[in-house]
Amino acid sequence: MRGSLKARIREGLRRSFDLIRGNQRLVVIMISTVLVMSGQGVISPVLPLFARSFGASAASVGMTLSAFALARLILNVPFGIASDRYGRRPLLVAGPVITGLGMIGSGFAQGIPDLLLWRVLAGAGSAMYMTGAQVYLIDISTPQNRARVLGANQGALLVGVSLGPGIGGVLADAFGFRVPFFAVGGAALLTTVYGYFRLPETHAPASSGEPLERDLRASRPTGGPAWRRLLGSRDFLAVSLLTAMVFLTRAGGRFTVFPLLASAEFGYSASSIGALFTAMALINLIGLAPAAAITDRVGHKAAILPSGMVTALALALIAWTGDAAVFLGAALLLAVGTSIMGPAPAAYAANVAPDEVRGLAMGLYRSAGDLGFVLGPVVLGAIADATTLGGALAVNAVIVLAVTLLFGATARESGRG
């Protein structure tokens, strides 16, 4: 049995690498994603400390992340509809420009209010690019290879995230908290130029994708407008709630409370937080290809459920420990837990959504995630202010466990490759 699983993973990895080599459009968008996410990664260890330098509370620090996500929450669906009407390419080209302006403006901020405004602008550009990119990838994939296609781009995302934090921490320690934001603006402008010349349009009036498995077809409500069938799908609602939890944990637990705890309790500097974030992202990157291969071979729930369990355990350990070595080990375990899930939720959402409203579906799916992104930093930051930083992460662990178990009980498998 173990040998059979290893053989499946090896075969899945081989198919993933063959897929990347044989798909020029996938390679182009992966390069764009590396450029975008290296910029986002640069500020991940810096933003909480930058906001803290204005004398902000933990809740206010969380608001600087939530403002970014709030813009995406509001604009994901309009941009998804726009991608169905006007195509994916305009979003992929214009989005990084707007993000770059927002990041450069953030670097010039003189207090929390203007920092929040610039973060909203950056979030609007992110909504443009990420919605366009996700729909673009679904356009060029089939249900049988979708996890691997999305996983390849997630790997590009993680390369950018891996490169960014270490660079951002070093820049902040050497030149101050503002310089990383200016570096991000430059990366965003480079992405726009590259995308303009290299990204072809993929939008077509109707999809000719392959039929899904019988259990997936049965999971879709029949009759009525496509948008109504989408909103009536218990599977789409379940994976949307799961994604809200993932983003709540990422933005609230990992990017807001975690660096504050590392700094306050264990003496981490901006560069050491950046180095730890880089190590965690590298673990995510290493685990991504096996996770995508397993997902396409044995199903999405097989990846999602153990990921939630390990993530909840890691958060509980971080919340509980006062030992620096245990803290470091739990942080790396957190990275292992999140890497197991990989691209499974996005592939699941794409599989259960009607093809004719693909842009709308992915806009709604991303908005669910961004709702978690908005709520996570503020809610967990407020809990940290009222209790302790560890207490906020303990609450986060309970949320992860509860949503994972709910998904396991209510969502149906959406097919295998």
Q: Which residues of 165-188 are buried (b: 16+ CB within 10 A; e: fewer)?
A: bbbbbbbbeeeebbbbbbbbbebb
Structural domains of the chain, ranges and CATH numbers in brackets: 12-198+215-410 (1.20.1250.20)
Stretch 62-81: mean pLDDT: 83
pLDDT in tens, 6-35: 555 555 555 555 556 556 777 778 878 877
Q: Which of 40-49, 130-139, 285-294 has the lowest mean pLDDT?
A: 285-294
pLDDT at 151 over 80: no
Q: What is the pLDDT of residue 285?
A: 77
Rounded-to-integer distance, Cα 89 and Cα 86, Å: 9
Percent of the chain with pLDDT over 70: 86
Residue type, 253: G
Give me the residue label for tokens 């390990």.
310
165, 42 contact by CB (below 8 A): yes
How do residues 94-106 score in pLDDT, each as one tens digit? 988 898 899 899 9
Higher pLDDT: 269 or 355? It is 269
Lowest mean pLDDT among 13-22, 66-75, 130-139: 13-22
pLDDT of residue 387: 94
Q: Which two tokens stand for residue 385?
A: 């202010």
- Residues 91-117 have a mean pLDDT of 89
| pLDDT value at residue 218 | 39
Q: How far is CA 129 from the centre of its chain?
A: 13
Closest to 341 measured CA to CA, from 310, 304, 315, 313: 304
Least confident of 66-80, 310-324, 342-356, 361-375: 342-356
User: What does the DSSP 8-state code read for residue 205?
Assistant: S
The full DSSP string for 371-402 is: HHHHHHHHHHHHHHHHS-HHHHHHHHHHHHHH
Q: Is 190 exposed, middle or buried (0-12, 13-18, 19+ CB in 10 A)?
A: middle
**Please, is 134 exposed, middle or buried when counting C-beta atoms within 10 Å of its C-beta (0-12, 13-18, 19+)?**
buried
Residues 231-277: tens digit of each pLDDT: 777 888 999 999 999 989 988 999 889 999 999 999 998 889 888 98
Average pLDDT rounded to a whole number, residues 104-124: 90
Tokens representing residue 323 in the block? 């030992």
pLDDT at 36: 73
Q: What is the pLDDT of residue 209?
A: 41
CA distance 50 to 56: 9
Quote the pLDDT of residue 67.
84
Amino acid at the residue 155 = G
> What's the rounded Cα separation, in Å, for the pair 45 and 41?
8
**Burial, 336: exposed, middle or buried (Cβ in 10 Å; 0-12, 13-18, 19+)?**
middle
141 band by pLDDT with thresholds 50, 70 and 90: confident
Q: Which token pair is 30?
A: 């992966």
Q: Higher confidence at residue 193 or residue 208?
A: 193
- Kindly tell me the burial class for residue 124, based on how many C-beta atoms sit within 10 Å of its own C-beta (0-12, 13-18, 19 or more): buried
Q: How far apart are CA 13 and CA 163, in angstroms?
A: 23
Integer Cα distance of 343 and 26 in angstroms: 15
Instruction: Categorize the per-residue pLDDT at 1 as very low, low, confident or very high, splitting at 50, 70 and 90.
Output: very low
- Rounded mean pLDDT of the chain? 81
Q: What is the pTM of this model?
A: 0.69
pLDDT tens-place string over residues 209-239 = 443 333 334 344 444 566 677 777 788 899 9
